Amino acid sequence: MIKNLLFDLGGVIMDIRRLNCVASFERLGMKNADSFLGEYSQKGPFLQLEEGAISEEEFRTAVRALIDGEVSDEQIDSAFCDFLVGIPKYRLEQLRQLKKSYNIYMLSNTNSIMWRTRIAEDFRQEGLEREDYFDGIVTSFEARSIKPDAKIFHTVVEKLGINPDETLFLDDSQKNLDAATQLGFHTLLVTPGSEFFELLKSM
């Protein structure tokens, strides 16, 4: 019996568009931005920040080394956050409705810059805070590991105190779902253009 719903953030709750971010960094003077920014995983300093391996200051220093010309902290942060399109309000409403019947959790590969700025802001559309929608949250930069590494799923079980066999994990990456399946989670792929709540109703 499913008691817990474990949500990925980007591509499931929040709409994302990698090419927006790539274009923003190219405008700042980064010639090879596309090679660092992937749909499901990052490379170089972008990956290191997501893994919690470097600080925001170290990240910005590393990014400046890839850019021709002077750029401010604000310009770097803004370009990075252009990866995020936003959260439609109706998805927040659906999360609140699901919370009446399930324990709701989040597992996200993300970074501290997006987390404390754009992501936090988007969850405030209904006058609530991000944490009001979830019974527990695990982020890659805090866990110091990223999906599909098994370590982050073990962190989920330990930190949130949930049983994988009672948990449905929703993600837009099949690799992440495959890793979760090996550890006993039930899984659901959220494909582009689909809505998680419609997929749940059809199950």
Task: Give the residue among 48, 70, 67, 43 at the shortest CA–CA distance from 59.
Answer: 48
Check if the beta carbon of residue 15 is closer than 8 Å to that of residue 122. Answer: no
Task: Give the residue among 4, 6, 185 at the shortest CA–CA distance from 101.
Answer: 4
Give 30-77 as a DSSP string.
BTTHHHHB-SS-B-HHHHHHHTT-S-HHHHHHHHHTTBSS---HHHHH
Based on the residue annotation, tell me whether 15 is a catalytic residue of this protein: no
DSSP state of 96: H
Active-site choice (8, 82, 122, 171):
8
Task: Give the residue among 127, 121, 93 at the shortest CA–CA distance from 197.
Answer: 93
Which residue, chain included where needed, has tokens 């499901």?
40
Known catalytic residues are 8
